Structure 1
């Protein structure tokens, strides 16, 4: 991350937030536009390899998930937090700290690609596997960043907490 030159000022922080949140909107827009095509591909792929449960209806309930607009709002806020953690690390004077910004960036790209590699949330195995990986990776980054930058560490804990709640909400039936 030595090639990225960010300063600790409002302009560079806003630049990071706009890029991260803009990428989130772009990917979610592509996912929404291609929802039918992705479901068709997912269903055929699941049928071809013989996996059961290739149906996005498992996310539709009855479960304890909040409404879709709340989930989108929370992820937008989480991406703002990840952008802030990236900015805090990338704008540091120390080379080791700047290298950790790359790990935050890769984790953010993983979170950004989540709707794509789960085929529009249509394959439960990939959804739960992705949730587990997100929780473990976010927790790892929280621990690694604790001694380097406490604010960045706290910001990287938030995705793990949200995904734990979302996974619980998905698997816990109402009633």
Structure 2
């Protein structure tokens, strides 16, 4: 397989893996939106529900492209470490939706999202040693998770 074809296959795999986490999160989230989540008291800065889908779709795409860039620009232990850290944050990403929405636990969600933010920071650090653009592609994700952390905390306090 030529370099270009291998790169395209790698990008597709990165998209599939990353959007698999999105699908898990979505499966845990969507049933709770019109029921449990609708009944929660939310802070004034809570965006309308329709905002979350497009924002997360863009963030997952950026995450996948960042991973693809790292995989294509590194080898051996450095690549394995960066991919493993990415995997940890991806698991925590899906876990947050399962805990917060699936288990209806704002407290548990807060614990998970704080760990997620730390894992994203670690991923950015690992990616920056390989590809600065890949690391930069994760900054909007970190900012959004920071905002989501504030929302999670506010919902915990208000409920």
Q: Say how many residue pairs are matched.
A: 150
Corresponding position of 1:14: 12
- 2:115 corresponds to 1:133: yes
Is residue 82–residue 156 contact of structure 1 (8 Å, CA) maintained in 2?
yes
Which has the larger helix fraction? 2
Determine whether 1:95 maps to 2:76: yes
Gap change, CA 1:145 and 1:30, over 3 Å in 2 = closer
Quick check: 2:19–2:60 contact (8 Å CA) kept in 1? yes
Partner of 1:166: 148
Specify whether residues 108 and 157 from structure 1 end up closer, same or farther in structure 2 by C-alpha distance, changes over 3 A only.
same
Larger CA Rg, structure 1 vs 2: 1
**Structure 1 Cα separation of the partners of residues 103 and 46 of structure 2:** 14
Q: In 1, Cα distance between the equivalents of 2:6 and 2:46?
A: 37
CA contact (8 A) 2:99 2:105 kept: no
Q: Secondary structure at the match of 2:42?
A: coil
> Shift in Å at residue 156 of structure 1?
2.6
- Flag as ranges the 4+ runs of structure 1 deviating above 6 A: none
TM-score in terms of structure 2 length: 0.73
CA RMSD for the aligned pairs? 3.3
TM-score by length of 1: 0.68
Q: Deviations over 1:65-84 (max 9, x none)?
A: 21222112211211112211
**CA-to-aligned-CA distance 1:65-110 (integer Å, 9 cap, x gap):** 2122211221121111221122122233421332112221231122
SS at structure 2 position matched to 1:9: helix
Kindly report which structure 2 residues correspond to 1:1-175, keeping only aligned pairs within 5 A, or say none.
Answer: 9-25=7-23, 27-29=25-27, 31-33=29-31, 35=32, 57-58=39-40, 60-99=41-80, 100-120=82-102, 122-169=104-151, 171=154
Cα shift at 1:115: 1.1
What is the distance in 1 between the residues matched to 2:85 and 2:73?
Answer: 15
Contact 2:63-2:138 within 8 A present in 1 as well:
yes
